[in-house]
């Protein structure tokens, strides 16, 4: 029995690792294709542009796609791992407001561990769901037009993030929800919630618990955290020359400071 259980766990871990690797590769492939797009007519145009001259349309589009890919890859990598949400105060998923009274009651009764366990399982579910964003974000980058790129380049510090949110949030929500549902089951969110509510005792009905859409809450908070991290990555590229790790990023975003 022990051997079968160990084998199942090994298969599960291997499958999750393979999935995560494939999703990470998806965004890396986008980044690679952007960097290698400079061929044919585009190469001639870009090559003709001497240093310090105006950006070509090809450079604008490729530069913004590269920035988006790097930002998305960085965000997914940071969040889609153990502790990615839980250990990051900026994106950590808190107790739902509707359960704040139960949280307070448990802590007064010295039952902090039940509230803490519930919060931890929600964050673990989010960490499992976030890597699924890679494919959709990659598609969003591939679909970027020149008009999109120019708007992002001239926009505010989070213009690329706004573009991501506008173009992909609905698809991400649709993709995330069933994954979050599965992840919350695996992470034990529902059972943790029941334990927490049970410990709160007969006051539960008075405290308004029982009708929470936990999966919906975790899904939305996961997306909020993802876009927040993409925005931080974007801001770094715009503001910090050190974060512009290629000549193309230096040229495209360096033009904004001239």
The model's pLDDT over 57-90, given as tens digits with 9 standing for 90+, comes to 788 788 788 888 888 888 999 999 999 999 999 9
Q: 162 by DSSP, 3-state: which?
A: helix
pLDDT at 197: 65
Mean pLDDT across the chain, nearest whole number?
A: 74
Who contacts 78 (Cβ-Cβ below 8 Å, separation ≥6)? 84, 88, 229
pLDDT at 35: 47
Residue that has been written with the tokens 């929800």 in this structure: 177
pLDDT at 113: 82
Residue that has been written with the tokens 């998806």 in this structure: 26
The model's pLDDT over 119-165, given as tens digits with 9 standing for 90+, comes to 898 899 899 889 888 888 888 888 888 888 888 888 888 888 899 89
CA distance 120 to 256: 42
pTM of the model: 0.73
The model's pLDDT over 14-24, given as tens digits with 9 standing for 90+, comes to 333 344 445 55
For 109, phi then psi, to 5°, come to -85, 5
Higher pLDDT, 50 or 234: 234
Distances (CA, A) of 240 to 64, 70, 139: 16, 14, 27
CA distance 16 to 182: 13
pLDDT at 99: 78
Which of 11-15, 22-26, 105-109, 237-241 has the weakest average pLDDT?
Answer: 11-15
CA distance 87 to 78: 11
The model's pLDDT over 215-238, given as tens digits with 9 standing for 90+, comes to 889 999 999 999 999 999 888 877
3-state secondary structure string across 27-96: HHHHHHHHHCCCCHHHHHHHHHCCCCCCCCHHHHHHHHHHHHHHHHHHHHHHHCCCCCCCCCCCCCCCCC
Who contacts 116 (Cβ-Cβ below 8 Å, separation ≥6)? none
* Domain positions in the chain: 2-40+59-257
Residue 180 confidence class, pLDDT cut points 50, 70, 90: confident
């Amino acid at each position: 029995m022990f051997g079968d259980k160990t084998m199942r766990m090994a298969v599960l871990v291997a499958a999750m690792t393979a999935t995560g690797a494939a999703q990470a590769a998806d965004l890396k492939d986008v980044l690679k294709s952007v960097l290698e797009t400079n061929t044919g007519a585009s190469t001639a145009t870009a090559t003709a542009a001497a240093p310090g001259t105006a950006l070509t349309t090809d450079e604008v589009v490729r530069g913004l796609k590269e920035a988006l890919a790097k930002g998305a890859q960085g965000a997914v990598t940071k969040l889609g791992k153990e502790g990615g949400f839980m250990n990051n105060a900026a994106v950590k998923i808190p107790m739902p407001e509707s359960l704040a009274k139960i949280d307070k009651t448990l802590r007064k009764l010295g039952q902090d561990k039940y509230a803490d366990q519930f919060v931890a399982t929600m964050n673990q579910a989010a960490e499992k769901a976030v890597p699924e964003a890679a494919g959709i974000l990659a598609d969003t980058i591939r679909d970027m037009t020149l008009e999109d790129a120019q708007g992002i380049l001239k926009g505010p510090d989070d213009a690329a993030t706004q573009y991501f949110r506008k173009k992909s949030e609905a698809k991400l929500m649709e993709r995330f929800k069933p994954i979050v549902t599965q992840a919350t089951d695996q992470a034990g969110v529902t059972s943790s919630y029941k334990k927490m509510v049970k410990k709160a005792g007969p006051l539960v009905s008075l405290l308004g618990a029982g009708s929470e859409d936990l999966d919906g809450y975790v899904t939305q908070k996961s997306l909020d955290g993802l876009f927040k991290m993409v925005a931080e990555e974007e801001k770094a590229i715009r503001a910090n020359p050190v974060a512009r790790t290629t000549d193309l990023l230096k040229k495209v975003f360096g033009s904004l400071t001239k």
